[in-house]
Amino acid sequence: MTEQALEVSDARQAPQGKLPALALSALGIVFGDIGTSPLYTFKTVLGTADMPSDPATVLGALSLVLWTLFLITTVKYVSFAMRVDNDGEGGILALMALLGVKKQHRPTIVAVGLFGAALIYGDGAITPAISVLSALEGLNMATPAFQPYVVPAAVAILLALFAIQSRGTAAIGHFFGPIMLLWFAAMAIMGVWGIAQHPQVFAAINPVYGLTYLVSHGATGFLVLGAVFLCVTGAEALYADMGHFGSRPIKLAWFAIVFPSLIINYAGQAALVLQGAPTGDNIFFRLCPQPLLIPLIVLATVATIIASQSIITGAFSMTRQAIQLGWLPRLYVKQTSSEGYGQIYVGVVNWLLMLVTVGLTIAFGKSDNLAAAYGIAVSATMLMTSALLFIAMRDVWGWSVLAAGSVAGCFLVVDSAFFLANLTKIAEGGYVPLLLALAVYSVMWIWHRGAAAVSQRMHEQLIPVNEFMARAKAAGVPRVPGTAVFLTRTETGTPPVMQWHVKHNRALHEHLFVLRVEIRSVPWTSPRDRLTIEEVAPNFWRAEARFGFMERPHIPGLLAASKSLGCTVDLSDVTYYVGHETVMGREDKMGMPAWQAKLFVAMERNAVHVSDFFSLPGDQVVEIGRQVAI
């Protein structure tokens, strides 16, 4: 097998290195979002509650935070979700693909998975804004003179962050882990100091405090749940980023560093309030001695930048998965580093996220205002993940309905409570991520419908190979030297692009190679399953290439690999033929609605060309245009 073919089949690089080193790297990539949530969570919780300085309120709020961290992150994601992987990959799209939605035609699962993924884009726009704002707001505690400059400074940092994305993060990524380790250590130390002021705060470990608060405060207690949920907004990242490191390093980092640091810091903030600290400003920064406040603000700002970087990178990875699975148009994906397949850049996604993030920062102005818009996207995604976990427990693990229903039912009850609590924030800004998710979901659904309609029209015009070759021979179509490779969507028959080539050019190459590329609902395909070839007529070969949704197709490398499977085509003189469809609405009005067809046409027109997507050499590609009515 050639070097190019090896590049294709070995696209995935398994996590390498010792477990502690991988766990340290995971701190910088996986835990940035949840690791910076103490900056704004507890102050938002107490700001939502009535009588925020009352000991029962403080202990109840802390108890809810601690048990939410335990139940959702430790139990649901670390203990259960991370055991349901798609060849090592996690996240709601990988979970959707694992359940075989492409072959089993489960429209409900598709809808749940896609809308959950669409909501993550909303989270990706809000996370950088709320994180950077909350860090810079610590300057107000140093001196009120900084207050007018918080939003401009946040906008400047965010613009710089998005501007450097095209350069990749490989050069600075090695520092992310140590910086986040320093951040978690600082949070733990400050938390210990706070706890020393009022050690009785550990009584909140008893869940009765949290449940009593919810029961005794009625509607206010229910509203507080929406603020409590902010403490686990990064939990979905543990699952989604599992493919970068594997489950063991993430679990080690969580149990050894992140979880203890978060518990101690939240307890320290609560202890400070019980000791009499005011709740009107940022409680987190009150844990810091005054001389160290500016260094802490700098460290917090860097930590939030790292958290934002992780969210942006996750949006890039999810976009590539959606493209490969056929739910988004082909976009240009730039590999920014040879060190890891996850180091990519998607320009369209980057600039759209930048516009939305900066717009939210300016429009909302304060992290407190953004908190209302934040939780609803993540809580909805977690609710959908729980629903898919129930199906996975049945289909993948083979659990009984009772066992799967008992476990997943508990997750659904908890997630539903948080989701309903966050729904009350719709008028305060919660509509923002919902509108963003609806827009992304619509784009995904319309693209998939349009692509399926085009494929169906192609299949309606198929001619059997033997019949086509007989017609060509009877018409005296000359055979010219060389090999013609025709890319097609069809599984059988003569590819439409070959028919149009003969119709317009009145010639056919001596060697014919028809290739269909299938993107499978698994992340990676083993080399032995990559390519199947059969000779359907003399010097007429039909091949099917299979790639996982995390792989990068490279067709010239595949052709070289075909030699080892007995294919005798001449690779020294190859011409690639690809079709370029001009899509239009059907005159009989029986196809897609006109507005959907127009949107699909616009996406098709701006999608990355097939030759670039499949790494075809530009000087060997012939494009044949045709009209397709959908």
Helix H segments across 527-626? 555-562, 594-606, 610-613
Shortest CA distance to 622 belongs to which of 559, 582, 568, 574?
574
Question: In percent, how much of the chain has pLDDT > 70?
Answer: 92
Reading the block at residue 327, the tokens are 């739910």
Shortest CA distance to 2 belongs to which of 560, 564, 551?
560
Q: Which residues neighbour 465 within 8 Å (Cβ) at sequence distance 6 or greater? A: 493, 494, 536, 537, 540, 542
Prediction pTM value: 0.79
Q: What was the pLDDT predicted at 172?
A: 66
Reading the block at residue 7, the tokens are 């590049």
Distance separating the N- and C-terminal Cα atoms of the chain: 41
Tell me which H or E stretch contains 409.
helix 401-423
For residues 443 and 121, is the Cβ–Cβ distance under 8 A? no
Q: pLDDT, tens digit, for every residue of 424-434?
A: 888 888 888 88
**Total residue count of the chain as it appears in this document:** 630
DSSP-derived letter for residue 571 is T
Q: What was the pLDDT predicted at 100?
A: 64
> Tokens 């603020």 map to which residue?
227
More confident residue, 103 or 282: 282
Q: pLDDT, tens digit, for every residue of 452-486?
A: 888 777 766 778 888 888 888 888 889 888 889 99
CA-based R_g, the chain, Å: 27
Burial track 578-616 (b if 16+ CB lie within 10 A, e otherwise) = bbebebebeeeeebbeeebbebbbebbeebeebbebbbb
Question: In percent, how much of the chain has pLDDT > 90?
Answer: 28
Cα gap 432→230, rounded to integer Å:
16
Phi, psi of 425 (to 5 degrees): -95, 5
**What number is the average pLDDT over the span 496-504?**
86
For residues 430 and 423, is the Cβ–Cβ distance under 8 A? yes
Tell me which H or E stretch contains 534.
strand 531-537
Reading the block at residue 507, the tokens are 């010639």
Dihedral sign, Cα of residue 597, residue 600, residue 606, residue 611: negative
Reading the block at residue 32, the tokens are 């940035």
Q: pLDDT, tens digit, for every residue of 401-411?
A: 999 999 999 99
Reading the block at residue 189, the tokens are 């130390």
Q: What was the pLDDT predicted at 101?
A: 58
For residues 286 and 197, is the Cβ–Cβ distance under 8 A? no
Q: What value does the mean pLDDT of the chain take?
A: 84
Residue 529 — pLDDT band, cuts 50, 70, 90?
A: confident
Shortest CA distance to 521 belongs to which of 132, 100, 42?
100
Q: pLDDT, tens digit, for every residue of 61-119?
A: 999 999 999 999 999 999 999 888 877 777 887 888 778 655 556 777 878 888 888 88
What one-character-per-residue DSSP string does 195-231 give?
Answer: HHH-GGGGGGGSHHHHHHHHHHTHHHHHHHHHHHGGG
Of the CA atoms within 13 Å of residue 47, those in its CB half-sphere come to 16
* Bridge partner residues of 366 (DSSP): none
Q: Which residues neighbour 232 within 8 Å (Cβ) at sequence distance 6 or greater? A: 34, 37, 68, 69, 72, 73, 378
Q: What was the pLDDT predicted at 168?
A: 73
> Tokens 């091949």 map to which residue?
543
**What number is the average pLDDT over the span 503-518?**
88
For residues 185 and 305, is the Cβ–Cβ distance under 8 A? no
Dihedral sign, Cα of residue 77, residue 80, residue 81, residue 83: positive
Reading the block at residue 534, the tokens are 């059969």
Cα gap 409→416, rounded to integer Å:
10
Position 257 pLDDT exceeds 50: yes
Highest-pLDDT range among 40-44, 195-199, 258-262, 516-520: 258-262
Instruction: Determine the residue type at 114.
Output: L
Q: What was the pLDDT predicted at 76?
A: 94
Domains in the chain with CATH codes: 13-47+55-205+230-429 (1.20.1740.10), 455-629 (no CATH)
The separation between CA 189 and the C-alpha centre of its own chain, rounded to angstroms, equals: 33
Tell me which H or E stretch contains 517.
strand 508-519
Position 11 pLDDT exceeds 50: no
Dihedral sign, Cα of residue 470, residue 471, residue 475, residue 480: negative
Q: Cβ atoms within 10 A of the Cβ of 539, count?
A: 15
